[in-house]
Chain A
Amino acid sequence: MPLEAVGLGDTLARMCTNEALRKAIERRSDEIEDIDQQERALLSPPIPGAIPVPHRYAVAAFVAAWHQEQAIAQRYQSILAAREDADAAFLKAVRIWSRSLGRSNEPVSEDAPDEGGSWLGAAASYSRALLGGTPQIAQHGYWLNSDEREEIGQIASIVILRVRLVAGLRQCVLAAQELPGEFSGKGRSHDV
C-alpha cells in the first residue's frame, strides 16, 4: 500500500493495545478521515499555490522532525522519495534539514547542501521560528514571500494536528499499560 494511502486511523489503531481506546478511535473514523483529506488537500493540491508539492512534503517533514516524531517525518520523506519530481539532491537536503530541526538545541545546519537548499534552508529556519514561538518571526522568513509563509503556516497546522494526535494517544496507551484493567471503560477506581 502506498504510504499516502495509510491513513491516520490505521496509525492510531495500530498504536492501541488498549481495546477500549481502539474502539473509541473506530467510532471517530469520520473525523479522522476528514483530517486525512485535509492533509492531502494541503500537501498534494491538484493546483499548487505558492509552494510546489515536493516542497510541501519537505515542510511537513521539518515540522514533524521539530516535534521529535521521527516516524512521521520519515513518512513524509518516504512519500517524497516515491515522487518523480524530487531528485536525490533535494531528498538529501530535506533529510539534512529535518535532522537539524530534530535537534532542538542546535542552530539550523550551516552545512546543508545548496541543491534546492536556499529555499529549503529558509523554510527550515522559518518553520523553526514558527514552532518555537520566536517573537520576531517575520525576519526568519525573509527569503519567503507572504504567500509562502502563509502556506507554511497551514501545512504546519495540519502536521501539528497529526503529531499531537499520535503523541497524545501514545502517552495514553503507555499510561494505560501501567494501569492494567484501569481504563477499560467498564468502571472506575475510587482511590484518587
Chain B
Amino acid sequence: MMFDAQIGTGGSKSRWPWRSRPQGLENGERALIALVVARQAGLTELARQYADEAADATHDPFAVTLLLEEGLPSPLTGRLGALATAAGALAQTPPSLGAFELKRLNANGIQPDELLDVVFTVARITSELQAKSGE
C-alpha cells in the first residue's frame, strides 16, 4: 500500500503526556520512532498520524514520507536513519538491537540520555498500542 505523501500540514497538538521530558530526543524524533513502531505493528493509519507530527516537528517531510512509505530497512541516513533503525530493532519481540545499531547511533552523535529516550519511547508506544488492541 502506498501512502499519500502530502503529510506534515496538520500542525497537530500533542497527544503525548511525556512530550515535555527535559532530557533526550526532540519531539519530532519521538514521533518518528512512534511512526516506526506503529508501522511495524501494521497500524498504518496511526503511523500516518505520527508521521504528520514527525514531519511538522523535524521539518524533514521527505525523510518521514520515505520511512512511512518504505518502512525498514530504510535508505535514510544520518541521525534520523540511525534512530529509525534502532527503534525498529527495539520494537521487535524480543528486542534485537545490537552492536551495529548502537555503533550507528553513536556515530551520529546520539547521547546516553537520547538512547534511553529511544528505549522509553518504543516501550511507551508499544504499551499503548497493546492497550488499544483489546478495545
Listed in ascending order, the chain A residues whose CB lies under 8 Å from chain B are 18, 20-21, 23-25, 27-28, 31, 67-68, 130-131, 133, 137, 149-150, 152-154, 156-158, 160-161, 164-165, 167-172, 174-176, 178-179, 182-185, 188-192
Contact = CB atoms under 8 A, between A and B. Distances in A.
Interface stretch (B51-59, B64-72, B118-126): B118-126
Q: Is the interface of A mostly helix, strand, loop or mixed?
A: helix
Q: Which of A137, A149, A175 counts the most B-chain CB atoms under 10 A from its CB? A: A175
Contact of B112 (A131, A137, A154, A183): A183
B107 A189 contact: yes
A27 B109 CA distance: 19
A192 B111 contact: no
Interface string B92-124: 011111110111111111011101100110111
B123 A156 contact: no
A84 B99 CA distance: 46
Nearest to B101: A175
20 contacts: A67-B94, A130-B133, A152-B134, A156-B131, A156-B134, A158-B127, A160-B130, A161-B123, A164-B126, A167-B95, A168-B90, A168-B119, A168-B122, A171-B89, A175-B102, A178-B99, A182-B106, A183-B112, A184-B112, A192-B103
Given A133-B133, A156-B134, A160-B127, 9 more contacts: A21-B115, A27-B113, A157-B128, A160-B123, A169-B116, A175-B99, A188-B107, A192-B104, A192-B106
Given A175-B101, A179-B103, A31 B126 contact: no
B23 interface: yes
Give the interface size class of chain B: 35 or more
Contact of A130 (B109, B119, B130): B130
A188 B108 contact: yes
B4 interface: no
A184 B110 CA distance: 11
Given A153-B134, A164-B126, A175-B99, A31 B119 contact: no
A12 to B, nearest CB: 9
Interface of B: 18, 21, 23, 41, 89-90, 93-99, 101-109, 111-113, 115-116, 119-120, 122-124, 126-128, 130-131, 133-135
Nearest to A133: B133
A34 B89 CA distance: 26
Given A24-B113, A175-B101, A192 B107 contact: yes
A28 B120 contact: yes
A145 to B, nearest CB: 13
Contacts of A178: 98-99, 102
A31 B20 CA distance: 11
A188 B106 contact: yes
Contact of B127 (A28, A157, A176): A157
Given A189-B106, A192-B103, A154 B95 contact: no
